[in-house]
Amino acid sequence: MSATPRALEYDVKDLGLAAQGKQRIEWAERDMPVLRLIRERFASERPLEGVRLVACAHITTETANLARALKAGGAEAVLIASNPLSTQDDVAASLVADWGIPVYAIKGESTDTYNRHVRTALDSKPQIIIDDGSDVVATLIKERKDQIPDLIGSTEETTTGIQRLHAINAAGLLTFPSIAVNDAQTKHFFDNRYGTGQSTLDGIIRATNILLAGRSLVVVGYGWCGKGVALRGRGMGANVIVTEVDPIKAVEAVMDGFRVMPIAAAAPLGDIFVTVTGNRHVIDGSHFAAMKDGAIVCNSGHFDLELNLVALGGMSEPPATIRPFVEEYRLKSSGNRIVVLGEGRLINLAAAEGHPASVMDMSFANQALSVEYLIKHRSELKPGVHLLPPEVDKEIAGLKLQALGLSIDELTPEQLEYISSWETGT
Ligand SMILES: NC(=O)c1ccc[n+]([C@@H]2O[C@H](COP(=O)([O-])OP(=O)(O)OC[C@H]3O[C@@H](n4cnc5c(N)ncnc54)[C@H](O)[C@@H]3O)[C@@H](O)[C@H]2O)c1
């Protein structure tokens, strides 16, 4: 607490948790070698000097290491939570007390407090917004148009946020450049697939302590996250059923060896359901009504509307809390119990710690380099949704391999010439 600068404003649960938070932030840093290299370069080159920045992210140990890198680069960063249930209160405390970074985030904050924090962050007049789900950008566009001329640009962490950015752009309202961090290969190939795959199961297990082996696990959505959840679920012995609306993804799931069927057919079969679609009400009232007694239902998609909990509430007695993050609804019609985890919010962040650091290392390397890119190219970047150049993706993967102590082959001049030409056939 003594390290807190006098003028620092913040809203965290308890600064007394800072010592534990610092230890955990430093533990995560051990598995974030790429971000550490970027932080060291930023500290000497100061490419973000004096830039006012708002980062809306899950306030986890990994995000803390991103914030350290941004600060080392010279940014004046303010942090807010991107979800009311994903904040780690000890991490928020340590960022304030040990690194002097203003944080407005408390685990379990109400939607009103969450929205107030978004507005407080916007009061700092950011020139760069790091967003996760596009709530800050959407609030800026709806309520703070006068601040848009100050904005150099934004970056977006997740699939749902990028969908919203494309919709904002289609409505003619995206008047600044935004970098789609999620669309970098070193982000979604690893974070969405392996990160969500492992940490979603981690959240389910920490909340319930159930055995996955022999259970039917229904994965709703076979995108990057769904593939990871299905793969890791099978690895732990679950019988995995996939539901989809995209025929290509559905064929892929079949060829990956999973059973594929509509959710109405899967509802009576599943023991555990996970939604990862970025879409609303993919598990609806009729599906809850068809489920087995004791079925466990959760979501790992960005927003808490994938499960229609309003419909479930209307069909049930008032829910009872059985354990932390575990609520049981008893259906009035059949008496069956439906167990909902983490209030339908991202279960990997609500009941566990989110993705492991080694996968966030690459995601946040992309974030840090995107911020630098926006600043370096501010005069030429046009409004709209942009990708980081593919060389940056390759550079991040190369650094990761180096950190893993691995090396790979390089193309010989002969091979390079061959794959760049058309004359040589059989
Ligand atoms: N929990 C986390 O930590 C975490 C991490 C990364 C992304 N996300 C979020 O997870 C969600 C999914 O992300 P992604 O990268 O896998 O997206 P994606 O676009 O790769 O996959 C989503 C899939 O859901 C399918 N889908 C849509 N509506 C459906 C429905 N009604 N029934 C069945 N399938 C349906 C789509 O066809 C698509 O294949 C997004 O909201 C994203 O922001 C969460």
Rounded to 5 degrees, what are φ and ψ at 110? -75, 165
Mutate to test the pocket of ligand 1, among 56, 132, 158, 258 (most ligand atoms within 8 A of CB): 158
Q: Token digits for 60?
A: 């986890």
Distance CA 76, CA 321 (A): 41
Q: What is the pLDDT of residue 5?
A: 41
Cα of 235 from ligand 1 centre, angstroms: 21
Q: Token digits for 161?
A: 């946020």
Rounded to 5 degrees, what are φ and ψ at 417? -65, -45
Q: What is the pLDDT of residue 135?
A: 96
Cα of 279 from ligand 1 centre, angstroms: 7
Cα of 44 from ligand 1 centre, angstroms: 39
Cα of 247 from ligand 1 centre, angstroms: 15
Cα of 221 from ligand 1 centre, angstroms: 6
Largest CA distance in the chain: 74
Distance CA 389, CA 379 (A): 17
In this structure, which residue's CA is closest to atom 39 in ligand 1?
Answer: 223
Query: What element of type H or E holds 320?
Result: strand 320-323
Q: What is the pLDDT of residue 7?
A: 66
Q: Token digits for 146?
A: 């006068």
Q: Which has the closest alpha carbon to 216: 168, 252, 262, 266?
A: 266
DSSP-derived 3-state class of residue 378: coil
Q: What is the pLDDT of residue 423?
A: 87
The label of the residue with tokens 């550079």 reads 395
Which atom number of ligand 1 is nearest to the Cα of residue 226? 16
Q: Token digits for 112?
A: 């009103």
Which atom number of ligand 1 is nearest to the Cα of residue 160? 43
Q: How much is the pTM?
A: 0.93
HSE, side-chain direction, 13 A CA sphere, residue 422: 0
Q: What is the pLDDT of residue 3?
A: 44
In this structure, which residue's CA is closest to atom 18 in ligand 1?
Answer: 223
DSSP-derived 3-state class of residue 155: strand
Cα of 159 from ligand 1 centre, angstroms: 7
Rounded to 5 degrees, what are φ and ψ at 326? -125, 115
**Which residues form the pocket of ligand 1, taking CB atoms under 6 Å from any ligand atom?**
158-160, 188, 192, 196, 220-226, 243-246, 249, 276-279, 282, 300-302, 346, 348
In this structure, which residue's CA is closest to atom 19 in ligand 1?
Answer: 223
DSSP-derived 3-state class of residue 388: coil
Rounded to 5 degrees, what are φ and ψ at 34? -70, -45
pLDDT per residue rounded down to tens, the chain (426 residues): 334 444 689 999 999 999 999 999 999 999 999 999 999 999 999 999 999 999 999 999 999 999 999 999 999 999 999 999 999 999 999 999 999 999 999 999 999 999 999 999 999 999 999 999 999 999 999 999 999 999 999 999 999 999 999 999 999 999 999 999 999 999 999 999 999 999 999 999 999 999 999 999 999 999 999 999 999 999 999 999 999 999 999 999 999 999 999 999 999 999 999 999 999 999 999 999 999 999 999 999 999 999 999 999 999 999 999 999 999 999 999 999 999 999 999 999 999 999 999 999 999 999 999 999 999 999 999 999 999 999 999 999 999 999 899 999 999 999 999 999 998 887
SS (H, E, C) 8-42: CCCECCCHHHHHHHHHHHHHHHCCCHHHHHHHHHH
Q: What is the pLDDT of residue 424?
A: 83
Distance CA 84, CA 94 (A): 19
Cα of 421 from ligand 1 centre, angstroms: 39
Mutate to test the pocket of ligand 1, among 135, 200, 261, 302 (most ligand atoms within 8 A of CB): 302
Cα of 143 from ligand 1 centre, angstroms: 28
